[in-house]
Chain A
Amino acid sequence: MATNPMHQFNVYKIGPEIKINGIDLSFTNASLFMLISAISISIFLLLGTKDKKIIPGKFQLLSEILYNFISKMISDTAGKKAKPYFPFIFSLFIFVLFCNMVGMLPYSFTVTSHIIVTLAFAMFIFIGVTILGFVIHGFKYLKIFVPSGVPVVLLPIIMIIEIISYLSRPVSLSVRLFANMMAGHTMLKVFGGFVISLGLVAGWLPLTFSVALTGLEILVAFLQAYVFAILTCIYLNDALNLHH
């Protein structure tokens, strides 16, 4: 009797119902796990920067590795001009990473497996980058839809394609993270269900699969946070360095 693998994605209220102007602002399990991720990030980074030594301790080493990793990623993909946006990309990366990783704990809830969360991130990035592009380049930013070196005959078609691809950025950015997390967690639960239904006799085979899949899912959790951050860098690069 396997339970529904989609049951883990249920959002339910914790504590009293809070409504302001008809908008439901109750504290749910999703908000609880966001809070847990935010608090664990704060504890981790505060411990890492508490006593700064020349020979770093464990936490300091980890936070320095993270800092260098993101800093190198930004300078590799978006150049020197993107340096002021380091705090934004760092917090984005580490929040998505911790949400994914907290979701890997058994009986926990994956915040990023809900499209509304990832779509909010993606729309925020998309609107922010677009405003940034217009602020820096003015109306010249529209040149992003006109790739250089394209024959004039093809230009109208290319422009339509470019506009569609630009507008589909938030969709692809959010659906990528959401679908990866949701598919992975559903798969884990389906294999967990196989272990229960096959029992002691043949349940060992799906159990080994399940262990291997957990490893894969931890890789995917890291990888998707990385991809999310690097794509943000690439979009930022488009806005900062127009046709370099």
Chain B
Amino acid sequence: MELEAAKMIGAGLAAIALAGAGVGIGLIFGNYLSGAMRNPSAAQKQFPNLLLGFALAEATGLFGLVVALIILFAF
């Protein structure tokens, strides 16, 4: 296989990491909503934690993007 083609395939495979990030963000918001429905008075207090969890989960997907960029441009 040509190196250029292998690079493209590798970069595409690295983007699969975003599936995990999608699941993670969905879990965080879903669980926050279900928790907030059960106890609305405690919801406001946990909002910063929600944002923190969202940012942390999103970042793991972006690590995949960085791997893709390294494969494409650094080698």
CB closest chain-B residue, reference A228: B55
Size bracket of the B interface: 10 to 19
Indicate whether A230 reaches chain B with its CB closer than 8 angstroms.
Answer: yes
In angstroms, Cα B54 to Cα A183, docked, is 16
Q: How many A-B residue pairs have CB under 8 A?
A: 35
B54: chain A residues at CB < 8 Å are: 223
**Contact partner, B63, options A179, A224, A227, A230, Cβ 8 Å:** A179
Cβ A180 vs Cβ B66 within 8 A: no
Cβ A227 vs Cβ B66 within 8 A: no
A179: chain B residues at CB < 8 Å are: 59, 62-63, 65-66
In angstroms, Cα B58 to Cα A230, docked, is 16
In angstroms, Cα B55 to Cα A180, docked, is 9
Cβ A227 vs Cβ B62 within 8 A: no
Output the least CB separation between B64 and chain A (Å).
Answer: 9
Indicate whether A169 reaches chain B with its CB closer than 8 angstroms.
Answer: no
A180: chain B residues at CB < 8 Å are: 55, 58-59, 62
Cβ B62 vs Cβ A226 within 8 A: no
Indicate whether B52 reaches chain A with its CB closer than 8 angstroms.
Answer: yes
Cβ B55 vs Cβ A224 within 8 A: yes
Indicate whether A144 reaches chain B with its CB closer than 8 angstroms.
Answer: no
With a 10 A CB-CB cut-off, give which of A172, A176, A220 has the most chain B CB atoms. A176
In angstroms, Cα B66 to Cα A226, docked, is 21
In angstroms, Cα B58 to Cα A227, docked, is 12
Determine the main DSSP class of B at the interface with A.
helix
Size bracket of the A interface: 10 to 19
In angstroms, Cα B48 to Cα A230, docked, is 10
**Contact partner, A230, options B52, B62, B65, Cβ 8 Å:** B52
Cβ B51 vs Cβ A176 within 8 A: no
In angstroms, Cα B59 to Cα A220, docked, is 11
In angstroms, Cα B66 to Cα A172, docked, is 11
Report B59-71 CB contacts with A as 1/0, cut-off 8 Å: 1001101100000
In angstroms, Cα B50 to Cα A226, docked, is 12
**Contact partner, B59, options A176, A226, A230, Cβ 8 Å:** A176
Q: Which residues of A contact B (CB under 8 A)?
A: 172, 175-176, 178-180, 183, 220, 223-224, 226-227, 230
- List 14 interface pairs A-B (beta carbons < 8 Å), by A numbering: A176-B59, A176-B62, A180-B55, A180-B58, A180-B59, A223-B51, A223-B54, A223-B55, A224-B55, A226-B52, A226-B55, A227-B52, A227-B55, A227-B59
